[in-house]
Amino acid sequence: MLWGPVIGLGLVSLAADVVSDGARPLAGPLLAQLGASALVVGLVTGAAEAAAQGLRLVFGPWADRTRKYWTFTLAGYALTAVCVPLLAVAPLAGTSGLVLASVLIIGDRIGKAVRSPAKTVLLAAVAKPVGRGRGFAVHKSLDLVGALLGPLLVAAILTATGNLSAAFAVLSIPAAAAMFLLFWLRRRIPDPGTSLPAAAPASQTRETAVDPAAPHVAGRPASLFTGSFVLFAAAAFCWSAGLVAFGVISFHLTTAAAVPVSVVALFYAAAMAAGAVGALASGVLYDRSGAWVLLSIPVLTAAVPVLALSPAAGLAVTGVLAWGIALGIQDSTVKALLADLVPAHRQGAAYGVFAAFQGAGALAGGVLYGALYENRPLLIASVAVLQLLAVVVLVAALRGRQRA
């Protein structure tokens, strides 16, 4: 069955995202309960997202070098399966609770960095027979089902107990299920590294270009860092800097909009449902019409601080939905484009480099939102300027590919 491996990996992501995304809407309220300010929440959640993206620059090339894609995938999921349930201990740790929670929140996202490039190489290999746009979209939709179920689960626990520790502890169950399923799939899906051709020594050749639009000199492929690739990555930096981490949104909802923590989890679940729809729609449009669908990311991102950080709960819900759609497109169709641009034996490195730009943007965004949280008009204007720049740079990158 052509779809079997895609669906299998999607189910792993579903279970793991019940864990990671079940905890994600609770990060802001947990840090606030432990005494964190808006700036601290912005720094911790921004650093967590920066680690999730930026460290792929290390783990992507490392996975390509060793070709042990399954090893990195297993290790990354294991880190999340350990860190998230341990957040249950943070409120019980006294004065060190804030430090412990911060380390575990960042540790979960480091697990994302460890596994993501390798897992994406696995997915790109098994999705090729069914079409990568559709394959990545279906995988992301299953992923987002988990991101929907996780917040619903913790909302139910919080409603029943009112206890953050209980909500984190229950996530150990889907964590164990994800690891069991992953080891089961390991025996059935071969590691792509065993079938890839050996990379030529650096003294004999240069890497194949990421962008097929890049010029080639006879006998000498162009560099990995082509103009279109760098422009595309720069656009990703801009939209990542503007797409606020949900920890800041949840902090705002609980401290400024008086939304109960259990309801914040439901807001996040709604965002994941919207993201699943956005991923599917953008994946289909990508296969039919090309990468211009990605222009929707900066448009949605610019709307997020206007709506999600509003004191009115209704507007905040709309902003959370826009946040979810932008995230869904970013985590699915963007990766499908990269898979189509990059040679198979360099996909891990390319994802790592690209994610480093996104991670740097996420860290800058965490600082931006934390520092300007009390000055909402300036924050909104700053994000709007970043997204306008993202549109200009993205159009330049896509036109470069189209001309070729």
Assigned token pair, 3: 């779809």
For 17-57, what is each residue's pLDDT tens digit?
999 989 988 988 899 889 888 888 888 988 888 888 778 88
pLDDT band at 1 (very low <50, low <70, confident <90, very high): low
Q: 217 has which bridge partners?
A: 220
Tell me how crowded residue 65 is: count the other CB atoms within 10 A of its CB.
12
pLDDT of residue 238: 93
- H helices within 290-375, ranges in order? 296-308, 313-330, 333-341, 347-372
For 30-44, 71-85, 219-233, which range has the lowest pLDDT when averaged over its residues? 219-233
For residue 218, what is the DSSP state? Answer: T
For 316-338, what is each residue's pLDDT tens digit?
889 999 999 998 888 778 877 77
User: What is the residue extent of each domain of the chain?
Assistant: 4-191+213-403
Whole-number mean pLDDT of the chain?
A: 83
Helix (H) or strand (E) holding 140: helix 132-161
Query: Where is pLDDT greater, at 119 or 337?
Result: 119
Separation CA 172–CA 168 (nearest Å):
8
Phi, psi (degrees; rounded to nearest 5) at 374: -80, -10
For 351-397, what is each residue's pLDDT tens digit?
778 878 888 888 888 888 888 888 989 999 999 999 999 999 989 88
Assigned token pair, 336: 């499908």
Tell me how crowded residue 22 is: count the other CB atoms within 10 A of its CB.
30
CATH superfamily, with its number, for domain 4-191+213-403: MFS general substrate transporter like domains (1.20.1250.20)
